[in-house]
Amino acid sequence: MTKIVEHFINGEIVADDNSRYQDVFNPATGEVSKQVAIASKATVEQAIGAAEAAFPAWRNTSPAKRTQVMFRLKTLLEEHSETICNMISDEHGKVHHDAMGELTRAIENVEFACGAPQFLKGEHSKNVGTNIDSWSEFQALGVVAGITPFNFPAMVPFWMWPLAVVCGNTFVLKPSEKTPSASLFMAQLALEAGLPPGVLNVVNGDKEAVDTLLQDPRVQAVSFVGSTPIAEYIYTTGTAHGKRVQALGGAKNHAILMPDAALDNAVPAIMGAAYGSCGERCMALPLVVAVGDEVADALIEELKIELAKMKIGPGRDNSNDMGPLITKAHYDKVKGYVDLGVEEGATLVVDGRDTVVEGYENGYFLGGCLFDHVTPEMKIYKDEIFGPVLGIVRVKTQQEAMELINNHEYGNGTCIFTRDGESARYFTDNIKVGMVGVNVPLPVPVSYHSFGGWKRSLFGDLSMYGPDGVRFWTRRKTITQRWPSASLREGTSFSFPNS
C-alpha cells in the first residue's frame, strides 16, 4: 500500500475528507513513493481554526518558556537528523551530505529562535516629557502562515515557523507537495519538544490551500519562498486582503571573477555553487562573469577537469556530488534550456545531456553543463533555469560586469572573486543585490542576519529570518504613560502635545 502523507492539525495527523491525493516521486528512480493529501479549503480552515484557538494561551506564555520548546527541538532534530535527511534525499533527490547541510541551517534558525527573550525586548524611554515614560512592545500577530518550495524541504520552513512561533504567533505551514514528508515529521518533533497542539499546523496542498491562506481574514501574515511569478501573486493577493506579506522569488546569481582571483579557491567554490543540489537553489550560481579572457580561459580549463571528476548518482549514496533533478517535467525543461543555449549561439563546452546513471536509468539525472560565451541577450542568460547549467560571460572590466548584474531583473545573490580590497568594497557598495559574497559563492546570511534579495527577488520590505524576521512576525505597540499626582495638576491644553 502506498504511504500517504496527510496533514498535521492541532497536534494530530488529520486526513482530509475530500480525498484528493497527488503522487510523490523518488527522482532517483522515477517511481512513485508516496501520495500526498491535497487539502481542501475546509481542511485549511480547520488548521487556521486550530491555530486561532491555540493563540491566546501561547501568546501569554512567557518568551522564556516558549524558547524551552526550541531548545528541546534542537536536540530532537539532531537526534533524528539521519531520518530527516533520508526523507529529503528520497523526495528531493539531493545527496545526503547536502541534505545535512540544509538541516544544519534549519537547526541554526532554531538556535536563533532560542534567543527570543533577548530579541523581543522593546525600547524604554524614561521622561519623554516630564514624568512621562514611553516604551515599545513587539506583540504577536496571531495566526500566520508560511508557504514553502520543494528545494529545501527542511530549511525554508525553518526560516519561518520557529521564529514566528517563538514570537508568540501560531502557524499554518503549507510545504511543497513534491517534498512534504520532512515538514510533517519535523512538526511532530516540535510537538514532542513541548509545542502545544495547534501552535504549529501543517497542511499539504495546492492553489486551493494557498488561496485559502491568502484570503482568510484570520491569517495575519504570510511568508513565501518560490518563483517570482508566484511570489508576485502571493504578495499582491495577500496585501489586497490586508495581510502583511513577504514573498521571495527567483534569482539568477552572477559571480564576477577578477583577474587577480585565487583560482584554486574560486574553482571549487564555483563548482559547488553551480552544480550542488543540481543548481536547484535560489542562491545557486548559474553565471560567472569573467573579467578578461585570460582568467576566463583558465577557469574553463579547470572546470572541465572538475566536471569530468564530478560524481552523479542517487542522493542516498553519500559518495555522490550531485543527484537528480526534482521531476521529469523539470528535467525536460532544463534540458530544453541547454538545447536552446546551443541554438542561441553559446558554446557548450561540457555537455551533460547524455548522462545516464547505471541502475537508475529512470531517474531524472542530468550531467553538469558548461556554456562559454553566454551573452545578455540569450534566454539562458536571462531566465532562472534551476538546473546544473553554468554559463560563462566574458567582459573587459569590473564595471561592465557590475552593470550586467545591476540591469538583471533579479537581485538575490552575487559574489566577487578577488584578492583586492578596493575591488571588493566597490562591488559590495554599488551592486544592486541583497546578498553579496566576497570570495563566498553562496552568501546565504547566517541565521542571526536576514535573508532577502533586491529587485524582483523579494516583494515586501522586510527580509526573512534573523532581525528582520522578528520585526515581520510582530506588531509594534507603543505605550505612553504618566501617573496623575495629587500635587501635580495641569490646565487644559488644546494644542498638540510636545514634550
Q: Would you please indicate which residues are annotated as catalytic (active-site) residues?
A: 282
- Candidates 7, 34, 92, 105: give the one binding a copy of itself (CB under 8 A): 105
In whole angstroms, the minimum distance from the beta carbon of 322 to a copy of itself comes to 6
Name the pairing type of β-strands 31-37 and 21-26.
antiparallel
Which runs of consecutive H residues, i.e. helices, occur in 365-413? 379-382, 398-407
What distance in Å separates the CA atoms of residue 383 and residue 366, rounded to the nearest whole number?
A: 18
What distance in Å separates the CA atoms of residue 322 and residue 363, rounded to the nearest whole number?
A: 13
The size of the interface with a copy of itself (CB under 8 A), counted in residues, is 133
Nearer to a copy of itself, 19 or 495 (CB): 495
- Candidates 25, 55, 119, 331: give the one binding a copy of itself (CB under 8 A): 119
265 binding a copy of itself? (CB under 8 A): yes
In whole angstroms, the minimum distance from the beta carbon of 191 to a copy of itself comes to 19
491 binding a copy of itself? (CB under 8 A): yes
Which among 16-24, 30-38, 129-137, 208-216 is the span making contact with a copy of itself, rule CB under 8 A? 129-137
Nearer to a copy of itself, 168 or 205 (CB): 168
Q: How far, in Å, are 413, 419, 431 from residue 434 at the CA level?
A: 6, 22, 9
In whole angstroms, the minimum distance from the beta carbon of 465 to a copy of itself comes to 11
424 binding a copy of itself? (CB under 8 A): yes
Nearer to a copy of itself, 14 or 255 (CB): 255
165 binding a copy of itself? (CB under 8 A): no
What cell was used for 302?
A: 579547470
1 binding a copy of itself? (CB under 8 A): no
196 binding a copy of itself? (CB under 8 A): no
483 binding a copy of itself? (CB under 8 A): yes
In whole angstroms, the minimum distance from the beta carbon of 8 to a copy of itself comes to 25
Among candidate residues 381, 374, 331, 326, the one with its CA nearest the CA of residue 355: 331
In whole angstroms, the minimum distance from the beta carbon of 350 to a copy of itself comes to 16
Cα 476 from chain centroid?
A: 25
400 binding a copy of itself? (CB under 8 A): no
Report which secondary-structure segment, H or E, holds 282. none
Edge-to-edge strands of the sheet including 21-26? 3-5, 31-37, 21-26
What distance in Å separates the CA atoms of residue 359 and residue 28, rounded to the nearest whole number?
A: 10
399 binding a copy of itself? (CB under 8 A): no
- 169 close to 196: Cβ distance less than 8 angstroms: no
Question: End-to-end distance of the chain based on CA atoms, in angstroms?
Answer: 72
What cell was used for 449?
A: 542576519
In whole angstroms, the minimum distance from the beta carbon of 13 to a copy of itself comes to 28
Nearer to a copy of itself, 19 or 492 (CB): 492
Distant-in-sequence, close-in-space partners of 218: CB < 8 Å, separation ≥ 6 = 48, 49, 51, 52, 142, 143
In whole angstroms, the minimum distance from the beta carbon of 184 to a copy of itself comes to 21
- In the three-class reduction of DSSP (H, G, I as helix; E, B as strand; rest coil), residue 340 is classed as helix
The amino acid present at 362, given as its one-letter code, is N
What distance in Å separates the CA atoms of residue 310 and residue 303, rounded to the nearest whole number?
A: 10
- Candidates 93, 296, 468, 469: give the one binding a copy of itself (CB under 8 A): 468
Which among 47-55, 113-121, 342-350, 394-402 is the span making contact with a copy of itself, rule CB under 8 A? 113-121
319 binding a copy of itself? (CB under 8 A): no
Residues 206-245 that bind a copy of itself (CB under 8 A): 221, 232, 235-236, 239-240, 242, 244
- Candidates 39, 87, 114, 184: give the one binding a copy of itself (CB under 8 A): 114
Residues 428-467 that bind a copy of itself (CB under 8 A): 428-429, 433-440, 442-452, 454, 456, 459-463, 467
What cell was used for 281?
A: 537553489
- Candidates 17, 264, 354, 377: give the one binding a copy of itself (CB under 8 A): 264
In whole angstroms, the minimum distance from the beta carbon of 308 to a copy of itself comes to 13
- In the three-class reduction of DSSP (H, G, I as helix; E, B as strand; rest coil), residue 453 is classed as coil
Nearer to a copy of itself, 381 or 472 (CB): 472
125 binding a copy of itself? (CB under 8 A): yes
136 binding a copy of itself? (CB under 8 A): yes
Which among 176-184, 187-195, 265-273, 334-342 is the span making contact with a copy of itself, rule CB under 8 A? 265-273
Among candidate residues 206, 187, 210, the one with its CA nearest the CA of residue 198: 187
Q: How far, in Å, are 22, 130, 147, 232, 301 from residue 2 at the CA level?
A: 11, 71, 26, 36, 48
In eight-state DSSP terms, residue 488 is B
In whole angstroms, the minimum distance from the beta carbon of 365 to a copy of itself comes to 15
Report the interhelical angle of 96-113 vs 63-79 (nearest 10°): 160
471 binding a copy of itself? (CB under 8 A): yes
Nearer to a copy of itself, 39 or 85 (CB): 85
CB atoms < 10 A from the CB of 215, how many?
14
